[in-house]
Amino acid sequence: MNQNEAARAEENEGSDSLDVLGKLKTDVFESDDEKLALALGRPVEEIKAWFGGEDIDEDAQEKIQGLAQMRLGSEDKTDE
């Protein structure tokens, strides 16, 4: 995989995670950044930064997917 392909794959994973993060926030955590941050073990400022366009790191992406599987069920699993 060359650098461009790797960058696109990482961007797609981040975009997928952001979509799932938004669904978690609205459907599970009553649109509350603080509740979502607590569930992910991350600061509220980081959650807000992700929604503002900052990249979601790999560790956070894994936590988001795991939380989605527990709280949203199989409908929101993404292919890895």
Q: With a threshold of 0.95, does the pTM exceed it? A: no
What residue numbers bound the domain in which 20 lies?
3-72
Asked if residue 13 belongs to a domain, the reply is: yes
In this structure, is residue 80 part of a structural domain?
Answer: no
CB 47 within 8 A of CB 36: yes
Q: How far apart are the first and last CA of the chain?
A: 16
* Within a domain: 24: yes
Structural domain includes residue 64: yes
Tell me how many domains the chain contains: 1
Tens-digit pLDDT profile for residues 16-67: 899 999 999 999 999 999 999 999 999 999 999 999 999 999 999 999 999 9
Confidence of residue 9 (pLDDT cuts 50, 70, 90): very low
